[in-house]
Chain A
Amino acid sequence: MLSEHELRERLAGAAANIGDDDQRAPRAIRNAQRRRKQQRHRAGTGLAVAVSAVAIAGAVVITREGDHGVTPASAAVISCDPGRTVAHTPVVASSPYGTVVTITNTTGLSVRVLLGREFAVVPPGLSEGQYLLGSGEQAVQCVSDAGATPAVAMSVVPAT
């Protein structure tokens, strides 16, 4: 009979061959900087990107008006306020690399944000992450130790 003690010992033994690696931190910093650069690029921080986005948005409105009548946002913006969840972007574009989600947590508590089948744990303040959101109506809900807020819907459409 496998006991808890035996399981602990076998887990420790199985993982013991994973050793130190001094390069983990520098590699992670490089990856993070590259990821941030990509996120900024996607979010469209520059004027050129903004101009392109306006042009693309026009095209998207024409092609998607039948579905939603709203231009999909390139990044989702969500607020976790005391007692409520707000999706500032009712329609957001997804991509195979995930959707950038900006969450403002004003509850003063650590909040778990359910994003369809994904979730994010968000400390108070402004946070940004990238999540794989499935297409279609996704429920968004902020849950904290104070309780769950009513879920709101956010529509996710594939980016063109």
Chain B
Amino acid sequence: MASETGTDDRDAAFTAFVRARGTALARSAFLVVGDATRAEDVLQSAFAETYLRWNTLRQPEAAEAYVRRVIVTTNAAWWRRRSSSETPLAVLPDRVQPDDTQTVIERETLVCALRQLSPRQRAVVVLRYFDDLTERETAHIIGCSIGSVKRHTSRAFERLRHLLGTDLGAVDELTTPVLAIRGVSC
């Protein structure tokens, strides 16, 4: 009975945590992973791991940091496996856009540009500029030094500026094809 109560308490605390932070973490996962469906799978895996460790994590802040770590490491592991088994396309494949609004184009362009970064660079960009984490927190989650975070941030920014810079900054319906012409596959 006591153990059932303990499980109920844990389930309630975990559910409250996911309800409170689930959407923010799902958005962060989407940007880190670059694909909404796979991001939800990665997030589910991270939440499941977190649930299993709930008794040792206890604090919501620790749980959130742990979820972010699992998202980053799971994505990096997937990327390593994919890089040896899939060949990137040379050009952007034809795809059906849900609609042609500026918002959709802007989103697709940014996500496409993020996909051109290495998994670690992408994680640093998302953790620093979407989740607003400090360099120290980012280093802790990624498992590297603060100097390394600074280096990844600088290189990622340089790459993003190249892809989304002045000549491509003005978003229009030509933006994504222009990325494709530059040899970028999304």
Interface string of A112-154 (1 = CB under 8 A from B): 1000011101011111110010000000000000000000000
B56: Cβ under 8 A from any A Cβ? yes
B47 engages A2 (CB within 8 Å): no
A127 engages B53 (CB within 8 Å): yes
Contact of B165 among A1, A22, A26, A35 (CB under 8 A): A1
Say how far B115's CB is from chain A's closest CB, in angstroms: 12
Bin chain B's interface residue count: 35 or more
B11 engages A29 (CB within 8 Å): yes
A11-B126, A31-B44, A31-B48 known; A24-B18 Cβ under 8 A: yes
A160: Cβ under 8 A from any B Cβ? no
Distance, CA A10 to CA B62, complexed state (A): 28
B88: Cβ under 8 A from any A Cβ? no
Say how far A48's CB is from chain B's closest CB, in angstroms: 24
B85: Cβ under 8 A from any A Cβ? no
B135: Cβ under 8 A from any A Cβ? no
Say how far B162's CB is from chain A's closest CB, in angstroms: 9
Q: How many residues of A contact B (CB 8 A)?
A: 41
Chain B residues with Cβ below 8 Å from A24 are: 18, 22, 26, 43-44, 47
A129 engages B36 (CB within 8 Å): no
Residue of B nearest to A123 (CB): B56
B9: Cβ under 8 A from any A Cβ? no
Distance, CA A31 to CA B14, complexed state (A): 13
Chain B residues with Cβ below 8 Å from A13 are: 103, 106-107, 110
Interface string of A60-78 (1 = CB under 8 A from B): 0000000000000000000
20 A-B residue pairings within 8 Å (CB atoms): A2-B161, A7-B157, A7-B160, A8-B130, A10-B110, A10-B164, A15-B27, A17-B107, A24-B18, A25-B47, A26-B15, A29-B15, A31-B48, A36-B52, A119-B143, A121-B69, A121-B140, A121-B143, A123-B62, A125-B56
* B positions within 8 Å CB-CB of A: 11, 14-15, 18-19, 22-23, 26-28, 30-31, 36, 39, 43-45, 47-53, 56-57, 62, 66, 69, 73, 77, 80, 103, 106-107, 110-111, 125-126, 129-130, 140, 143, 157, 160-161, 164-166, 169
- Beyond contacts A19-B23, A21-B22: 19 other A-B pairs, Cβ-Cβ < 8 A, are A1-B166, A11-B125, A13-B107, A15-B27, A15-B31, A15-B130, A16-B27, A20-B22, A20-B23, A25-B19, A25-B47, A28-B47, A28-B50, A29-B14, A29-B51, A31-B45, A31-B48, A32-B47, A124-B56
